[in-house]
Structure 1
Amino acid sequence: MLLPTASSAEVPLFCVAGKAGIGSGQHIVFVTGEEYYRSEEGMVMFAKLLAQHHGYKCTVLFAIDPSTGQINPNRNDNIPGLVELQTADLMVIFARFRELPDQQMKHIVEYVNAGKPVLGIRNATHAFRYSPASTSIYKDWDFRSTKWPGGFGQQILGDTWIAHFGKFQQEATLASVNPDNRTHPVLRGVADSLFCHTDVNSVERLTADDTVLMYGQVLSGLAPDAPPVTDHRQDKQMPFAWFKNYIAPSGKQGRSFTTTAGASLDWQSEDLRRLMVNAIFSLTGHEDEIPEKTNVEIVGEYHPTSTGAHPDSAWAR
């Protein structure tokens, strides 16, 4: 897949300068690399939106096939440009089962160890997976870690990978506002419920200190008007969007926001985009400035494609 814009001949990434707005002078780095949910589409859309409407400088990094220089999320060992995190005010991570070389991974680790804010999307709960033979000094960031229980996902975002609660590519999500937190500033301008194409993920390890803004209910199909399931899952909803105060391995404290939404199709929802942008405002120090209805109009064209993994041949074009 061709890059939307190659900002550097040496580092294939997408970068857009911020205009005037609430985030003027701040830098958001999006770290993508997952096979199913077209993060390379959705995060570029957000980069344009945030730069145009809200003033943030935005950089989107991708999983790159080094032999072609093109995006290929099947390559789990290469996300060039992570040095950009050195100047980031926010890391948005949408990655799955990455096993990055230490010289790349160190930038993510250093960012988190500084206690800086993190926004995790969908697969970020299991962003890293190391092979048994790995000698990486960052193996404990693996989502299966027992030494640092649950690795990055559980320790920084609030939970690691458990399972699909809804059926993948068969059952969508109806996300509803947690009435206990309806007045939270990040929910300002967000409808009481919204539809997502992605299924509900199991989330079971959040604590009383975490702030759940929305819960996800399993629907019986993929259409917005599909009714909820009527089996054993009908009375159980899973956290869909939440804040966490984390403690980094360095001992520094930071703050994260996570949503189990994330397919590029999901972001067609104005309410979901507003939830995302409001969370970004909060994480970058602007929670008190969240307006009644944050501008989340898509900039330019946005044509999201279907969920699903593609073979390498599909990316070599």
Structure 2
Amino acid sequence: MPENRPPAPARPAAGVPGHTPGRRREGPRGRSGGAPPPPAPVDAGWTPGPRRTFSDEQVWPPLPKPASEPPGASTQPFPVVPATPLPRPATPGILGAGSGAGRVTGTGPATGTGAAAGDGPGDGAPAAPAAPEEAAAPAGPAPPPRRRTALRIGGAVLALVVAMGIPTWHGYVFYRSGNPAYQVHPVAAGGTGTLMNVAWKVGVEQIDSLPGARPIKADQRWLKIKVTRTSLNTEGVIRRGDPEIKVKHPDGRAWQTEVVGRSLPVEVKDHKVGVGYDYDVVSLVPEKVAGEVEVEVLPSTIRVPLEEESVEELFKRAGTEKTEPQDQVLLFRR
């Protein structure tokens, strides 16, 4: 009769992690009868402890090669720095024109071997980096800029003068178009001046008061001025417009004048050639210059026709006549 034996436990497969032969397999943590897994091993190099110090190591310039190191063993070739600057190439940026296949044609360091260029020491032997024959010459100090301070300042001043002068000139021309520069014709005291076929004469008298005028100060005087005009021909009769009369001192000061009477005929037909007609003018000036002031007469350039004209004829004549500048002045001395 066969013997009843309990079944043998199954052997785990080899290579299963966490299994030790001859040991019962532990269940998951938390189950009854289980033990926590052992802690993972710690690297002794990273354990807390005193700070370690490292010795200094020279990086640049590189340490001299040991005597036992064969030539060409360095992995960091450095270009040879020439003692004197090389000549600048004719075409900047293009190097090695017409050189062999192993020569440098760029700006980077030469890394090719002598075997590639055909001029190395031999087959199989590493070649030392050759100095670039046509490398760009080192850029020297830039030449100092030419000192053109005076020229630049002169150009700036000239530009400023032109920028300010052109508008000023246009303004002056516009001003002179309405206020022309006077052409003064001096007349001696008691003399006669002639302009535009009309003869002019001036007489000045000092008076203390005028009938119906307000009282004046003790240091003031009235000037009674008589301006006589005489037409020399028909053209003079046509130039019968009222003149502009001014009282001025040689130093440039001027005083207001007022025409209080005239004997010029109202009708043109009554105006006679060779007959004098007067303008009565008064002016109030300081007493100390009453004997020094001079009289300026600006004859009018208006041409009044001898006969009455219709409106159409007046506009027709005004469109054909040339406007004359009123810039002629007669200056009567005292």
- TM-score, normalization: structure 2? 0.18
Q: Which has the higher contact order (CA 8 A, sep 6+)?
A: 1
Bigger fraction of residues in helix: 1
- TM-score, normalization: structure 1? 0.19
